[in-house]
Amino acid sequence: MGLSTQGKNIHDVITARHESEIRLIEVMRKCLLLKVKCDRDYASSIQSVSVVGLKIDRIDDLNGSQIFKTWKRFMEELENQSKLIRKKMECLENICIDRISNILVEKRKIKKQCQDDHEKIASRLFQFTDEVAKKKTEYNKQLEYYKQMRLRFEEHYIKSGRAGRKLDDVREKYQKACRKLHLIHNEYVLLLHEATEVEKDYRTDLFPTFLSNQEALHEQFNENWNSILVDIAKLLDLSSADEFLKTQEQLSNGLKGSISKDEYNDILEKYKASPIVFHFDENLINDNVGKLLPNQLAVDNLTIDWLKQKMLELEQSMKECQEEQQKLKQSNSSEQLTLNNLLNKSLVNIEGQNHSSQIVDLKLKSLKNEERQMFKVLEIIKSSLNEVSLNELPSGCDDDLPSVVVENDEKYRNSTMSFAFLNKNEDFMTLIKTPFKKKRKTFASDEKISKSGSQTPISLRARSTRSVSLLTVSPTQPLYLEPWFHGVLPREEVVRLLRNEGDFLVRETTRNDETQIVLSVCWNGHKHFIVQTTADNHYRFEGPSFANIQELILHQYQSGLVVTNRSGAILKNAIFREKWELSNDDVLLVEKIGRGNFGDVYKAKLKNTKQEVAVKTCKMTLPEEQKKKFLQEGRILKQYDHPNIVKLIGICVQKQPIMIVMELVEGGSLLMFLRKNAQILELKQMLRMCSDISAGMQYLESKNCIHRDLAARNCLIGSENIVKISDFGMSREEEEYIVSDGMKQIPIKWTAPEALNWGKYNSLTDVWSYGILMFEIFSKGATPYSGMSNSKAREKIEEGYRLPAPEGTPIKVYELMLKCWSIEPIDRPHFNEIHNEITHLLNQ
């Protein structure tokens, strides 16, 4: 969920305001320095005029002349005016500009403190948002396992009756799964309640307090800034002439009212946050999971001990939270007493101490909110326990089981089944009797389709009610050859392909180490149906079963019947594989040539064209999230066509392992090439490398693609030493990207300060990395910041340190590197400027 509806807009506006004001102060400082220089030059010119005016031949002859006396006084006043101007400019430079430099430092601190404070108060909401999502996933996983155990129990019960060791084993596994499901249910319910309280406190208490603190700091800062402007205005009043008086009056009037206390109120009104609603996903328990109810704790023999333990843990946590609050209050009182003594002696800065007090206030509010949140959850547990008599605890397992469909077996049609469940004190307490459903009638169209399982391809015919492409189903060929089968394409990619109501495709997934075939349909959102396998190895959803999946999909399409009654989904239009989705069998792996973040890299051949290619593979054991990141590189590359960017040929997702097929760049890594050929590299060759990369990055910048990992190790060198940009695993197709998953796998020494500090990336962030890449090229493969740890290098950069020019680097090239490493992104050149400058250097 994040902060999209929880103050993100307000926080972004405040941060943007800070950044803009910092730039404004820098412009102000530059302008005043220029003003000082101009006025000094003017004062020097006036003084020169006065000197020339008094440099007169035969001056002795003018003694006693009234004309000379008047002229001399005029020239002396002119010199006095020159001195006055110079004096005021010295004051302006030594006092006001220094104050501006100090206030600039203070403004940067305020901006950083704003980021830090907001991160602290938002971290708990982030944590609970993630935990809710994880717990829901865990719930789903346990729910699937519970259903498997339950189905297995039903099958063994039908086969063996009420006795037998095997039945006992299956019953025990089923009851364990049931117990764990109930526990997870309770954890999920409590977590939702707690997350709701955390979100409410963040939105109604912590975030308003944070904004109030920021507003107070902003007002104080504005007053300081305004006082500097007033002093500057006085120093710039150089004359009493009407024109200057009028300008001065306008300047003074313009300064009035520069402070607006309604500034934050306007932001709050415009970007008011709406609450996040945490609700129990009722789809989790709609599928016959016994007594579990949404947003209600399950209190039974399976959960009572856990609930009691949870209650004790919460009470202990509340006690610790109260103690921490008391310590903080005592510490704050002691500091306030010391502060009052120091204030009397004028030994402290009031502004800084006020901010410290505001931070303590925010911490106290956070602790109080935590205590109240825990109290809320504790009340829910106590209330649920009070409603149940502990001497007569209900059984945790279902009181009844859903009907079991039995087809093709006449003797079971009118029989009943019973299941026994363990109670806390008795082995078998409840006998549940549920009649079997009668055998489902098959439609005439079903019978026709079932009989049509011939050896010839079957066409999916377009009906008059909808318009679709003519499709072909071939029951005799493997499923992965069907154009509407997309193999192990991840769910996120599937959702991107299914855009219109009724669009569908078939794919493969793995759950609990078991391969399953899934029908994905766009219908009131996106629905995913697992193809069920019957005892006789046929396939079905809720209707009749078929000998193969192709005939099942054909039936579902032609009949126009819903896939399941609950979903209401109808198949209208099959989505074929995209042209870049290759078959794994089309690629012949030849030899391993490297290792990537997700798996091995191979030299390979395309069977049809015999073209040599490079293939990145993804380990089968990686989680779905990692596979999604692996495929992201292919999704980005498929739309790019530039001689300095490695070309995508296709992606293989028909079966494991997933593969990305790219053009083979024979020269390999640019970094290894630089190191191997260090002795023979020439200046022109290195400039061409820089030109190739800047051309590729200029193209990416025009496509709003941020590479985020530009380095020599991620560039390849091909025929005629042309350089191609590769490895787009971290890339993003956005004008600006803000990282949300921490600093994992970030290349610290290649990454710009604003990305490391605030997680903000854009094309100017890549420009910083390009400067480091230029250093790698001209140092012939040296490691940047050699001998420094990542943290030390980062610290030195913040202090203003920059890499020295590699030996033999032309001055113009090093100056370009330094431009790329400007601390402010706005001061860095764009890639079109870089490419033009390097082209100019090459031509010279």
**Is 600 marked within a binding site?**
yes
Has 186 been labeled as part of a binding site? Answer: no
Q: Is 388 annotated as a binding residue?
A: no
| One-character DSSP codes across 76-96 | HHHHHHHHHHHHHHHHIIIII
Structure tokens at 699: 């193209």
Nearest to 494 by CA among 532, 533, 522: 522
* Per-residue 3-state assignment (H helix, E strand, C coil) for 564-625: CCCCCCCCCEECCCCCCEECHHHEEEEEEEEECCCCEEEEEEECCCCCEEEEEECCCCCCHH
Q: Which of 548, 534, 574 is nearest to 452 (CA)?
A: 548
Query: Residue 518, annotated ligand binder?
Result: no
- 594 marked as part of a ligand binding site: yes
CA 656-659-662 angle, 5° bins: 165
Q: Which residues are CB-contacts of 585 (< 8 A; sequence separation ≥ 6)?
A: 607, 654
User: Is 568 labeled as ligand-binding?
Assistant: no
Tokens of 548: 């193969």
The answer to whether residues 461 and 558 touch, using CB atoms and an 8 Å cutoff, is yes
Q: How far apart are CA 219 and CA 221, in angstroms?
A: 5
Amino acid at 821: W
Which tokens hold the place of 28? Answer: 């102000």
Q: Spell 165-204 as b/e; 16+ CB within 10 A means b.
A: eebeebbebbbebbbebbbbbbbbbbbbbbbbbbbbbbbe
Has 593 been labeled as part of a binding site?
yes
Nearest residue to 793 (alpha-carbon basis) of 755, 756, 749, 752: 749
Residue written as token pair 């010199």: 79
Let me know: does 779 contact 814? Beta carbons within 8 Å: no
Residue 696 zone, left/alpha/beta (φ > 0; ψ -120 to 50; rest): alpha
Q: How far apart are CA 573 and CA 175, in angstroms?
A: 43
| Phi, psi (rounded to 5 degrees) for 209 | -65, -45
Among all residues, which ones are annotated catalytic?
709
Q: Is 64 known to sit in a ligand binding site? A: no
According to DSSP, residue 4 is labeled T
Nearest to 669 by CA among 612, 728, 712, 730: 712
Q: Which residues share a beta bridge with 602?
A: 592, 615
Spatial distance between the Cα atoms of 302 and 178, rounded to a whole number of angstroms: 8
Residue ranges at the known binding site for ATP:
593-601, 616
Residue ranges at the known binding site:
593-601, 616
